[in-house]
Amino acid sequence: SFGLISATDALLGSSSTKYSALDCQRPELLNKRKVQGKILLCGYSFNYISGTASIKKVSQTAKSLGAAGFVVAVEDSYPGTKFDPVPVNIPGILITDVSKTKDLIDYYNSSTTRDWAGRATAFQATVGIADGLAPTLFNSAPQVALFSSRGPDVKDFSFQDADVLKPDILAPGNLIWSAWAPNGTDEANYAG
């Protein structure tokens, strides 16, 4: 078990006016003594969708502050949001279910003692780190994702024979964990 601390409660004094600490993108905004050895609770904002925030940076922030791990909780659903798996170097989880996020935040708030001004004075919320990823198995056959390459289109928009390549291997699935080269640079989350 580890203590749980919200990034907003770990904020250093004057930082709150310039940046959103809840994204957990800037370790210099957070109090290392408060975060060290705990699980850092971060929020998922539109900054992740716009590309100005990333799960990888949350991982780096948590590690640099000495956190035992991190939780990124999605409080609002944004249209077109796609949650891709990202390699991280400390235990972490992204909670995409808004109702589960609400339960976690309610638990955190009910376990945190605050003074008359609303500042956190004691943190009693605890969380654990489990075994990690486990497959979810279904009784139905897998399907190829709608956006996947499905092979040649016999006719193009002019109803002429299309001259397109087909995939030689087609596998159903979405967000499939695989291997990547450490020197890959096409996606910032996977670089290194």
Q: What is the pLDDT of residues 61-98, one digit of tens each?
A: 999 999 999 999 998 877 667 777 788 889 999 998 88
Model pTM score: 0.70
Joined together, the tokens standing for residue 57 give 């940076």
Phi, psi of 79 (to 5 degrees): -60, 135
pLDDT value for 159: 63
CB-neighbour burial class of residue 4 (10 A; exposed 0-12, middle 13-18, buried 19+):
buried
Q: Are 171 and 150 contacting, i.e. CB atoms less than 8 angstroms apart? A: no
Give the torsion through C-alpha atoms of 109, 72, 39, 56, to 10 deg: -160
Looking at CATH, the fold of the domain delimited by 2-127 is given as Glucose Oxidase; domain 1 (3.50.30)
Q: What is the pLDDT of residues 106-146, one digit of tens each?
A: 999 999 988 898 888 888 999 988 876 665 666 666 666 65
Among 135, 130, 18, smallest CA distance to 71 is for: 130
Q: What is the pLDDT of residues 1-39, one digit of tens each?
A: 899 999 999 988 755 555 567 889 999 999 999 999 999
54 pLDDT higher than 60: yes
Q: Three-class SS of residue 87? A: coil
Q: Three-class SS of residue 190? A: helix
Domains of the chain, by residue range, sit at 2-127
